[in-house]
Homo-oligomer: A and B are copies of this chain.
């Protein structure tokens, strides 16, 4: 079964180029994205929400117009293997998740998903073959409506110049930028 415009093997190659390696999670994610997309009415302009930072955001970025940098994909760091696509005007859409109740005949996927064995004892080739055979049959799609606060267009507000580092940042942070206030991810930052 194709994944959007790609065959299974073509999508594996697209994933390898973007994500660095063929992670089972993105391939399943590809089927999830397409199943949610096909539930939406034709022509709907949609945004995406994803409930994990792992793998799935890349499936969305590869198969929809939604990316982290354009703001059309929101990430909720719950560690849940689920995503939704919804009409960006009214928030109505569909959520797809990998459904544990559909994994009894897919032992390699189940072992991978629930971490029933250490990764080193699992066979990625076997997991991918089960995914190819299962396609979107292991995903369940249900209706959702996103909370209205997530429909608001993100605003950038006005710009201030930090009194300490001299760099630009959004004025709503105050006079000093978040990095200079102590949130810098660097131990050394040689200006």
| A contact residues vs B (CB 8 Å cutoff) | 18-21, 23, 26, 49, 51, 53-59, 61, 65, 67-72, 74-76, 78-82, 84, 91, 95, 97-98, 100-101, 113-115, 142-148, 150, 156, 158-159, 161, 166-170, 173, 177-179, 183, 185-191
Contact = CB atoms under 8 A, between A and B. Distances in A.
Nearest to A158: B115
A61 B71 contact: no
A56 B68 CA distance: 9
9 contacts: A19-B67, A53-B69, A57-B67, A68-B68, A76-B183, A79-B169, A79-B170, A79-B173, A142-B189
Question: Looking at chain A's contact residues, is the secondary structure mostly helix, strand, loop, or mixed?
Answer: mixed
B95 A179 contact: no
A66 B84 CA distance: 24
Nearest to A79: B170
A144 B58 contact: no
Given A53-B69, A65-B20, A100-B166, A191 B142 contact: yes
A95 to B, nearest CB: 7
Contacts of A82: 167
